[in-house]
Amino acid sequence: MLRHFPPVNGAYAHGKRDYFIAAFTFFCVAVCLVTDSNATLEKQNALGVCGWVFLTGLLLGENKEVRMQVIIAIIFATIGEHFASPFMGGYTYRFGNVPAYVPPGHGMVYLTAVALGRSGLFLRYAREIAVFVVLVCGAWSAWGISGYAEQGDYVGALLFCVFLIYLFKGRSPMVYLAAFFITTWLEIIGTAVGTWKWAAIDPVLHLPQGNPPSGVAAWYCLVDAVAMGGAAPLLRALKTVSTRIKPAKSRESAYQGASNE
């Protein structure tokens, strides 16, 4: 049974701001991916600069824990991008690289999932949204293995099962539901305009996969789970280090003062 989702790690609903974050990210994703479909490498880098500026602005209204979650999401997702794309070849970008806008883009996508997950709309209609997502993604996955799809998608079906585990057993189901919407949006646009292409055969599982795989949201749920699980411990560790450094600096200053006398 889907649980009602409390405020994300202490972050409370910000009303209209949550919807602005989501709308702004959906818009930026579409513009960025369509622009990159025929852009030069220089323009791609410029999109990356814009991404960092936009992400920084969106984070100004968030608390420390959400900011730390975004940082962790960016680091983890960027490492995963380099491993899955240039190294493994699970999907390939136009220039065979990881575009400069991808790291800040992951930050904006994660923040959008958090914002929608804590929004009044998602909290009020949690079960209805969950049913919609499960039915849509389930039908998409079933089509991929039915034999009627142009490109088989057994990997997508497996990922859909993983997504269900996140949704019904994970600690933040509303964030995962929100991740489905933003990630499906970016994957469909990105593959449709040729910004990247998924390999027909997954290089690890050696199974057919769609372009994009139907359950691709599961990969983003992993990023979300790592970000939410790692933020609080990392903040506590940083606080501990800070409290230990301050007394040491105070003793050093006192010693220097005594020496000068």
φ/ψ of 125, rounded to 5, equals -115, 40
pLDDT given at position 259: 55
Long-range Cβ contacts of 160-168 (<8 Å, 24+ apart)? 160/214, 160/215, 160/218, 161/215, 162/215, 162/218, 162/221, 163/137, 163/215, 163/217, 163/218, 163/221, 164/134, 166/218, 166/221, 166/222, 166/225, 167/2, 167/130, 167/133, 167/134, 168/1, 168/2
pLDDT given at position 244: 79
Contacts of 144 (CB under 8 A, 6+ apart): 152, 153, 154, 156, 157, 210, 213, 214
Of the CA atoms within 13 Å of residue 230, those in its CB half-sphere come to: 16
Answer for the pair 176, 18: CB distance below 8 angstroms, yes or no.
no
Closest among 24, 28, 29, 25 to 191, alpha carbons compared: 29
pLDDT given at position 255: 52
pLDDT in tens for each of the 261 residues of the chain? 354 444 444 444 468 999 999 999 999 999 999 999 999 999 999 999 999 999 999 999 999 999 999 999 999 999 999 999 999 999 999 999 999 999 999 999 999 999 999 999 999 999 999 999 999 999 999 999 998 888 899 999 999 999 999 999 998 999 999 999 999 999 999 999 999 999 999 999 999 999 999 999 999 999 999 999 998 898 888 888 878 776 655 555 555 655 555
Closest among 93, 110, 91, 209 to 159, alpha carbons compared: 209
Angle at 178 between CA 117 and CA 53, to 5 degrees: 85
